[in-house]
Structure 1
Amino acid sequence: MQEYFEFSLGARVLYKAGLARELGDVLDELGVKRAFVVADKGVAAAGLLAPVVEGLTSSVEVVGILDDVPPNSSVRVVEAGAEAVRAAASDVIIAIGGGSPLDTAKGMRLLATHGGSVADYEGYNVIPGRLMPMLAIPTTAGTGSEVTSIAVILDEADDRKISLVSRYLYPDIAILDPELTLSLPPRLTAATGMDALSHAIETYVSTENNPFSDSLALAAIDLIATHLRDAVQVGSDIEARGKMLLASAMAGLAFSNSLLGVVHALAHAIGGKYHIHHGTLNALILPHAMQFNSVVASERYVRIAWAMGVHAGGRSDKEVIADGVNAVRTLAADCGLPIRLRDLDVPEEALPELAALSVVEPAIFNNPRIASEEELLELLRAMW
């Protein structure tokens, strides 16, 4: 265990089916009057935006809506959105959607409060103070962004992802409403669920792990191993949807405190260059990363295997870990996700550049095993 660690609970979390239609009292408690809503086209097309807006009380006015956030939100979108928030004199942001709208809203409230550009706040604990209020309402069970102190924004000019990490980025309130995830298509349900699993597994073996994050991570792994297949294959299963939403938030709270590792270093590098869905990349990378790291964190990977439903049965740690890795790989395959980078149109000749980008990506520094550029290239070749 760490000699010293810090754990923050961050957002106030509210869970209830149908809760997103009843936000008036929540906003009244914050004392806000002028709401700016952030979402994406998928949320609007699925009819998820209207009930939230219509459910606001007469004391809260919607003064602006940004409903076309792209799948990989960018510096351009964040900076234009922040200007719109300032122009509308909004005093609260309500973000609805997956990781991209939620991270976009975090960036918008940062710039609307403190000014400047996204790059000014890159890194850890650079943000100088508190931000304007924000409600985060996830419509996917994956990123956990509704409860994290992290935002990742694409810098389109340099084809890289900018990571912002600060306790001030926690949303004030997270609204977990499983009804909002019922319309999510199977492929996205699978990819976002595997994203949450990668968060839980990576943070459990991170160099910054602690007893609080450990407990949340293991609980999330168990929930995902138990319920993701049902959520993918029977989209109307409200219990499975609810369990996945809870698992995503648990994993988000865990990794927001104990950080991540090589999976996200590789995924950020690849996603920045080729704009591939983050959860899809994490699902593909995760088994390879588990094998790579298990030589230095075997006890933790045995515990992960148990949480995935693997029984030790008097076998060696190596055998149990191998079954744990296979359980993760099988879960992704059962959910219909790709298992090779070539299937995502990543060219083989790009692998050396991706290894070079990954070795300096901030997430790599909390990986339990030090990874050289050559070792990362080997990993990329194995998954290509």
Structure 2
Amino acid sequence: MQDFFEFSLGARVLYQMGLASELGQVISNALPQRRAFIVADKGVVQAGLAPIELVGIFDDVPANSSVAKVAEGAELARVAGADLLIAVGGGSPIDTAKGIRIVLTLGGSIPDYEGYNVIETPLTPLIAIPTTAGTGSEVTPIAVILDEEGQRKISIVSRYVTPTLAILDPLMTRTLPPRLTAATGMDALSHAIETYVSTENNPLSDSLALAAIDMIATYLRDAVHDGENMEARSQLLIAATMAGIACGNSLFGVVHALSHALGGKFPVHHGTANAIFLPPGMRFNSEVVPERYVRIARAMGVNVGGRSNAEVIADGIAAVRTLTADCGLPTTLREVGVPREALPELAELAAVEPAIFNNPRPATPEELLAMLEEVW
């Protein structure tokens, strides 16, 4: 029985098909700010912003948000006199925008704010419009920024980092290619699974995580293989946001520790990395919280009646692996260009990565290396 937990819904969330095309009216109804600066993926065009004044666009956002790009974007926003940031894109543009609002409001550089609750003051308003159903960054108090010089990922966690408003419009995800649909969907699944077994889990985040697992297991294949299936796109987008709210409250574990270590050294998509690391991470943790992995297996569609925990958990892990393969994603590190000689360093990095501190089972570098070897 838990003595205490804290839970926050964070961002205000608006969902509607086609809502992004009415963005100007949404802003007028929700916020007093009028000088908008857009942070977006390449190719994202402005639409529906009237009567808001657009003072700048920063679309030079890399696949992994970086300290240098945050500094560049913050300076452009400052010179433009922006009083509102709008992030349009996947996890990298949204995290870049989170970083920009930190530096724009408080000055300094991103490494100054690394850690938990370093930021203790409200920031420039930020609207997040996800174009992927994956990171849930549109509702999380977390920003992960790549330090290219140090070859590591910087994690910043504060309730003030959470976007002011999240706009969920499934039409914004319709043109996402199958491979990215799959990778971002597996990212959302990893969020839901990790937060459900985190040491910071609570009944509110549990309910969101389990529902998200069910929805992703049900709809991800359809969205990958038929991108025009708007029911599948809609359900995935909502599930990713639900998983984002859950993990924003209850945090991550060993899977994300391994993925962050890998992403600091190799240009592997974060969702793809999580998909690769989920099976060994689940197997490792199931030894200490088996009942939670039984419940995850049920949410994945595994029949649990009259069967041992070990059988159900094995089938739950297999269901995750099958979902990954069915969606056309790699299941090994060698497939994404990671050399075997890099594994010991990755294990050492993962052992001190902040995400690992909420894992239900402590993991030594040796145990992490064994997990890396398992999926190499």
Fold conserved (TM > 0.5)? yes
Residue equivalent to 1:126? 118
Q: State the Cα deviation string for residues 243-299 of structure 1 (Å, max 9, x = none).
A: 000000000000000000000000000111002100000001001100010000000
Q: State the Cα deviation string for residues 181-224 of structure 1 (Å, max 9, x = none).
A: 01000000000000000000000000000000000000000000
Tell me the secondary structure at the aligned position of residue 23 of structure 1: helix
Q: What is the identity, as a one-letter code, of the residue corresponding to 1:188?
A: L
Q: State the Cα deviation string for residues 98-154 of structure 1 (Å, max 9, x = none).
A: 000000000000110000110000000001300010100000000000000000000
1:250 and 2:248 matched: no
1:101 and 2:93 matched: yes
- State how far apart, in whole Å, the 1-side matches of 2:95 and 2:176 are: 19
- State how far apart, in whole Å, the 1-side matches of 2:276 and 2:368 are: 15
Q: TM-score, normalised by structure 1?
A: 0.97
**Which residue, 276, 283, 289 being the options, matches 1:284?**
276
1:82 and 2:83 matched: no
Q: What is the identity, as a one-letter code, of the residue corresponding to 1:19?
A: L
Tell me the secondary structure at the aligned position of residue 54 of structure 1: coil
Residue equivalent to 1:6? 6
Q: What is the identity, as a one-letter code, of the residue corresponding to 2:27?
A: L
Tell me the secondary structure at the aligned position of residue 71 of structure 2: helix
Q: Which runs of 4+ in 1 moved over 3 A?
A: none
1:214 and 2:209 matched: no
Equivalenced residues, count: 375
Q: State the Cα deviation string for residues 345-368 of structure 1 (Å, max 9, x = none).
A: 111011110000000000000000
Residue equivalent to 2:184? 192
Tell me the secondary structure at the aligned position of residue 199 of structure 1: helix
Gaps of 5+ in 2: none
Deviation at 1:27, TM superposition (A): 1.2
Tell me the secondary structure at the aligned position of residue 22 of structure 1: helix
Residue equivalent to 1:32? 33
Residue equivalent to 1:63? 55
- State how far apart, in whole Å, the 2-side matches of 1:180 and 1:326 are: 32
- State how far apart, in whole Å, the 1-side matches of 2:2 and 2:117 are: 20
- State how far apart, in whole Å, the 1-side matches of 2:216 and 2:58 are: 32
Tell me the secondary structure at the aligned position of residue 294 of structure 2: helix
- State how far apart, in whole Å, the 2-side matches of 1:146 and 1:54 are: 19
Residue equivalent to 2:370? 378
- State how far apart, in whole Å, the 2-side matches of 1:2 and 1:139 are: 37
Q: TM-score, normalised by structure 2?
A: 0.99
Tell me the secondary structure at the aligned position of residue 295 of structure 2: helix
Q: What is the identity, as a one-letter code, of the residue corresponding to 2:114?
A: E
Q: State the Cα deviation string for residues 44-68 of structure 1 (Å, max 9, x = none).
A: 1xxxx33xx331122x110000012
Q: What is the identity, as a one-letter code, of the residue corresponding to 1:204?
A: Y
Residue equivalent to 1:354? 346
Tell me the secondary structure at the aligned position of residue 196 of structure 2: helix
CA contact (8 A) 1:2 1:208 kept: no
- State how far apart, in whole Å, the 2-side matches of 1:338 and 1:21 are: 35
Identity level (%): 68
Tell me the secondary structure at the aligned position of residue 180 of structure 1: helix
Q: What is the identity, as a one-letter code, of the residue corresponding to 1:246?
A: I
Deviation at 1:34, TM superposition (A): 0.4
